[in-house]
Amino acid sequence: MSEPMTHSEGAGPTRRDFLYITTGATAAVGTVAFAWPFIDQMRPDASTLAVSSIEVNVESLEPGMSLTVKWRGKPVFIRNRTPEEIEQANSVPLEELKDPLARNANIDGTSPATDLARSAGEGKENWLVQIGVCTHLGCIPLGQSGDFGGWFCPCHGSHYDTAGRIRKGPAPENLPVPTFAFTSDTVIKIG
């Protein structure tokens, strides 16, 4: 004689299985519908996206002049350096630098902090674009100041050279270079 078959041994899906699956699916859809407004509100609004990049006309900047613009709520220093400032930055041995990395968002993150790696690149070495926030505590350095003729943060005494590299003081890193590109000979797009 054979033993009677139990429910778990051979029967197909039951009404109870269907109810479990339906309840789970309904709960999942309800959770997503409930959470979506919270997730959606984390996206940046149109005004934020509009200022994610700016274009700056630098036609009027003669060698030795600087311009400060605001990008993403931060000051950005744009400097048309003189040949003397470029020569001074090039003459610094890399082993003397406090921060050996270029900190340039336009090139490889491990690039050394040479003057060329900190500038707008080959053929535009005179142009320097960097976020004007001291890497120590977020103060705004003064331009064409300090022991190295670049930037000086009077709050805590950080000195940057003419390539925006930290040379003296408590700041741990060079001034960061944001993503930028020349869209023409006289217009820089930041961001």
Tens digit of pLDDT per residue, the chain (191 long)? 555 555 555 567 888 888 889 999 999 999 989 888 888 888 877 666 666 889 999 999 999 999 999 998 899 999 999 999 999 999 999 999 999 999 999 998 889 999 999 998 888 999 999 999 999 988 899 988 889 989 999 988 999 999 999 999 999 999 999 999 999 989 999 98
156 a catalytic residue: yes
Neighbours of 189 (CB within 10 A): 14
In which domain, by residue range, is 92 found?
50-190
The answer to whether residues 34 and 126 belong to one domain is no
Q: Considering the candidates 7, 136, 156, 159, report the single residue annotated as catalytic.
A: 156
Domain count, the chain: 2
State whether the Cα torsion 124-173-74-72 is positive or negative. positive
The answer to whether residues 173 and 96 belong to one domain is yes
Contact between 124 and 182 (Cβ < 8 Å): yes
The domain that holds 160 is classified in CATH as 2.102.10.10
Which residues fall within 8 angstroms of residue 55, CB to CB, at 6 or more apart?
183, 187, 188, 189, 190
In-domain check, residue 128:
yes
What is residue 4's DSSP assignment?
Answer: P
**Residue 148 half-sphere exposure toward CB, CA atoms < 13 A:** 26
Contact between 120 and 169 (Cβ < 8 Å): no
In-domain check, residue 1:
no
